[in-house]
């Protein structure tokens, strides 16, 4: 086993016993949501995964180790500490060697899950190609990771803070299969509907599980991205959320926000300007993903 891994007993037993384990990221806790909703969300996700018969494993960097499976105290620290680094692939070795506390992004959670032997990972939304990419070249490392690391990611698509058509083009180029769960279109995080047609639709976990087994038998590298629309009752008004997103992107541009600060800035602006409505939707869609991810993991290991 990798010397940097610190895997919780329960999680290790499940991995070794070929039981369903579902990884969860920590950037969503430290940089994606305000306190105290972030820590409640993290705990409830773990409970939802357990209800489906899978073992949850939230991942973070602590004390020079990659911690796989956190306790309540760890979650509280990630939710409240002011000095938590946002750790993407670029930052992983540094934050580990300097023994700093770090929250893992989608890319880094995939890397760590793979090291531990975990095949499924639930999150809210992935990073992608930012709007204005022509000027900034801002492409999330999440996309490269999906292309090369064998962890299957369950999400609610991506926010339209990103350039979604270009994000889909990039994923195609990199050979990432994007599955629409019960939808023909890419879910847009806060809203179920979108105009971006997907190539693959599947309506049950049995089919998705078969797809993953087939991909693995072929020896194809990379993760499959399963996109799960936000439930209708939690979905936001599209025109309203689109206007808030536009406003946030404009604000980021005017303030000269760059690099890894962009995504957290946009998320916080949208929560503030929607007076918390977007946060409610965000939490609801993560729970929806946790349920689907755990069901899929259980099906896969049958």
DSSP state of 99: T
CA separation for the pair 178, 181 (Å, rounded): 10
The interface partner of residue 125, options being ligand PSU, Mn ion, none and the CB cut-off 5 to 8 Å by kind, is ligand PSU
Separation of alpha carbons 228 and 292, rounded Å: 8
**Is 142 a known ligand-binding residue?**
yes
159 is catalytic: yes
Between residues 41 and 116, which has the closer beta carbon with respect to ligand PSU?
A: 41
Nearer to ligand PSU, 140 or 152 (CB): 140
The footprint of Mn ion on residues 124-143 (CB under 5 A) is 138
Q: How far is the CB of 146 from ligand PSU (least distance, A)?
A: 11
Minimum CB–partner distance for residue 109 and Mn ion (Å)? 16
- Contact, 124 vs 286, CB < 8 A? yes
Q: How far is CA 112 from CA 33, 57, 139, in A?
A: 22, 11, 21
Where in 196-235 is the site for ligand PSU (CB under 6 A)? none
Contact flag: residue 28 with ligand PSU (CB under 6 A): yes
Report yes or no: 59 and 96 within 8 Å, Cβ to Cβ. Answer: no
Closest CB to Mn ion among 219 and 259?
Answer: 259
**Which tokens sit at 45?**
């996700």
**For residues 111-170, which are near ligand PSU according to CB under 6 A?**
124-125, 127, 140-142, 159
Distance of alpha carbon 300 from alpha carbon 210, whole angstroms: 8
Mark whether 46 is an active-site residue. no
Residue 197 DSSP label? B
Instruction: Decide which of ligand PSU, Mn ion, none touches 278; Cβ closer than 5 to 8 Å per partner kind.
Output: none
Nearest to 266 by CA among 286, 285, 251: 251
DSSP state of 293: H
The answer to the question of residue 263 lying near ligand PSU (CB under 6 A) is: yes
Of residues 39-98, those binding ligand PSU (CB under 6 A): 88
CB of 107 to Mn ion, least distance (A): 10
Q: Is 24 left (phi over 0), alpha (psi -120 to 50) or beta?
A: beta
| Residue 141 interacts with, from Mn ion, ligand PSU, none (CB under 5-8 Å by kind) | ligand PSU
Residues that bind Mn ion (CB under 5 A): 138
Catalytic residues: 25, 159
């Amino acid at each position: 086993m990798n010397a940097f891994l610190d895997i919780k007993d329960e999680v290790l037993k499940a991995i070794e016993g070929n039981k369903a384990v579902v990884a969860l990221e920590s950037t969503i806790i430290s940089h994606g949501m305000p306190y105290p909703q972030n820590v409640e969300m993290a705990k409830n996700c773990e409970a939802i995964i357990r209800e489906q018969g899978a073992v949850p494993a939230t991942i973070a960097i602590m004390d020079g180790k990659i911690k796989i499976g956190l306790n309540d105290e760890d979650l509280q620290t990630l939710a409240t500490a002011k000095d938590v680094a946002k750790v993407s692939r670029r930052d992983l070795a540094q934050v580990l060697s300097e023994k700093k506390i770090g929250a893992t992004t989608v890319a880094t959670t995939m890397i760590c899950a793979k090291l531990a032997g975990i095949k499924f990972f639930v999150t809210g939304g992935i990073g992608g190609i930012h709007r204005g990419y022509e000027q900034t070249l801002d492409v999330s490392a999440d996309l490269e990771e999906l292309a090369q690391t064998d962890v299957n990611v369950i999400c609610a698509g991506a926010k339209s803070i990103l350039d979604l058509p270009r994000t889909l083009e990039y994923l195609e180029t990199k050979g990432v299969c994007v599955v629409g769960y019960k939808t023909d279109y890419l879910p847009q995080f806060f809203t179920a509907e979108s105009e971006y047609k997907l190539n693959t639709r599947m309506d049950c976990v049995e089919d998705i599980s078969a797809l993953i087994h087939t991909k693995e038998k072929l020896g194809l590298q990379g993760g499959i991205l399963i996109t799960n629309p936000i439930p209708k009752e939690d979905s936001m008004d599209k025109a309203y959320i689109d206007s808030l997103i536009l406003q946030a992107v404009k604000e980021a541009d005017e303030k000269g926000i760059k690099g890894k600060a962009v995504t957290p800035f946009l998320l916080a602006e949208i929560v503030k300007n929607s007076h918390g409505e977007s946060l409610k939707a965000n939490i609801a869609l993560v729970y929806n993903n946790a349920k689907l991810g755990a069901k899929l993991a259980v099906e896969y290991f049958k």
